[in-house]
Amino acid sequence: MEISTTTPTDSAAPTPAAEIRRLNSAAAAHDGIEPFSEQFLLGLDDGGERGHRHVIARTGNGDLVGAAASDGSTAELMVEPGHRRRGVGTALYRVLVNGAGVDTVWAHGNLPPAVGWCRSRGLEPVRELLVMGVGGRDLAAAAGAVEREGFHVMDLDRSRRVYGADHVDGEWLRVNNEAFSWHPEQGGWDADRLARGQDTDWFDPEGVLLFWSGADGSGDGGPAPELAGFHWTKWHGGDGTGTSVGEVYVVGLADGFRGRGLGGPLISSGLHHLADRGADEVILYVEADNTAAVAAYERLGFGVRERHVAYGSPE
């Protein structure tokens, strides 16, 4: 079988986003997990704003059988189930390694075939993300009281109306960058990156809960308050089995408010919101080596649902 590997972003032809999405769905139906993460799916349609490079593989008659994407250092790739073990994945990866400086590749779900493929190329685990989930009675128990004396919780929409969009977004951006100064994807955001984060079909400003210090929510009596932390939730809806799923998408705490017992109320605020919306289960992503966070989530009743591992060359 003839494989033609091309890089759409290097030519006048647009990235075949619809074809790649169909391939992603076919792979997910076969494997039980999507090979492309949200950021790379969004990158198919953003006109190059994220700076992603895409590589595709077609048969001699033009059928799309493989696709890969890179952000310049990490990559994700997928091969149509009926065309696996024919060198398609290797051809895609070789193009990205040679042309885009890729040094790591994600194995979402860490499935045995992906693990074997990575290890056969001398790649070793360099990062692991856990998907943890909680549901039923454990979710109801975790979504407890959220109020703390000296703080007021408001969603993003109401906060902007009361305190002004410029102040609210500036505080949100500041706290995000303080909380994630170490994070390769979430840290170092600017206003444009924050705006892109909200430019999704699922974004709901009522699902972003903000903890304001010294505020009563009225907007009267002095300067706009300081943001102590935020809980950004995501609504997935039905998962095809009759279960409604929500997500602890991003939780951030300002440097000046650490060690004051706000982590629990911050988490609970989002869980409470999602439970009220009808979530049967709430999931979250957490770095596997963040043992303190993993332990805290386990105490709330969360358990590991999936493992996502990035493989790279050993140092």
For the residues of 240-273, what is the DSSP string, one character each?
A: SSS-EEEEEEEEEE-GGGTTSS-HHHHHHHHHHH
Reply yes or no on whether the pLDDT at 26 is more than 80: yes
The pLDDT tens digits of the residues spanning 254-272 come to 999 998 888 888 999 999 9
CA separation for the pair 117, 272 (Å, rounded): 42
258 is in an annotated binding site: no
90 is in an annotated binding site: yes
| End-to-end Cα distance, the chain | 36
77 is in an annotated binding site: yes
Angle (nearest 5°) at CA 314 between 311 and 315: 135
Reply yes or no on whether the pLDDT at 114 is more than 90: yes
297 is in an annotated binding site: no
- pTM of the entire predicted model: 0.84
Q: Which is more confidently placed, 68 or 1?
A: 68
247 is in an annotated binding site: yes
* Spatial strand order in the sheet of 4-6: 4-6, 53-58, 64-70, 74-79, 104-108, 303-312, 124-135, 281-287, 244-253, 226-238, 208-213, 151-155
96 is in an annotated binding site: no
The pLDDT tens digits of the residues spanning 211-243 come to 999 866 666 656 779 999 999 999 998 877 788
In percent, how much of the chain has pLDDT > 90?
Answer: 64
- Contact (Cβ atoms closer than 8 angstroms) between residue 217 and residue 254: no
- Tell me the average pLDDT across 116-137: 94
Residue 73, helix vs strand vs coil: coil
Among 249, 258, 312, 311, CA closest to 285: 249
Beta bridge partners of residue 281, listed in sequence order: 135, 245
What pLDDT does residue 106 have? 96
The CA-based diameter of the chain, rounded to the nearest angstrom, is 73
What pLDDT does residue 132 have? 97
Kindly give, in sequence order, each residue whose CB lies less than 8 Å from that of residue 199, ignoring residues fewer than 6 positions away. Answer: none
What pLDDT does residue 264 have? 86
111 is in an annotated binding site: no
Q: Residue 73: pLDDT band by 50, 70, 90 thresholds?
A: confident
Please give the structure tokens belonging to residue 290: 């963040």
Q: Which is more confidently placed, 35 or 265?
A: 35
Domains along the chain? 4-102 (3.40.630.30), 132-307 (3.40.630.30)
CA separation for the pair 258, 250 (Å, rounded): 16
285 is in an annotated binding site: yes
The pLDDT tens digits of the residues spanning 172-206 come to 999 999 999 988 888 899 999 999 899 888 999 99
The interaxial angle of helices 156-163 and 165-179, nearest 10 deg, is 130
- Supply the mean pLDDT for the chain: 89
Q: Residue 4: pLDDT band by 50, 70, 90 thresholds?
A: low
79 is in an annotated binding site: yes
In percent, how much of the chain has pLDDT > 70?
Answer: 91
Could you tell me whether strands 244-253 and 281-287 are parallel, antiparallel, or unpaired per DSSP bridges? parallel
253 is in an annotated binding site: yes
Reply yes or no on whether the pLDDT at 9 is more than 80: no
217 is in an annotated binding site: no
Q: Residue 315: pLDDT band by 50, 70, 90 thresholds?
A: low
Beta bridge partners of residue 68, listed in sequence order: 55, 77
264 is in an annotated binding site: no
86 is in an annotated binding site: yes
Residue 296, helix vs strand vs coil: helix
What single-letter DSSP state applies at residue 218?
A: S
Reply yes or no on whether the pLDDT at 105 is more than 70: yes
78 is in an annotated binding site: yes
Q: Residue 145: pLDDT band by 50, 70, 90 thresholds?
A: low
What pLDDT does residue 171 have? 97
The pLDDT tens digits of the residues spanning 75-84 come to 999 999 999 9
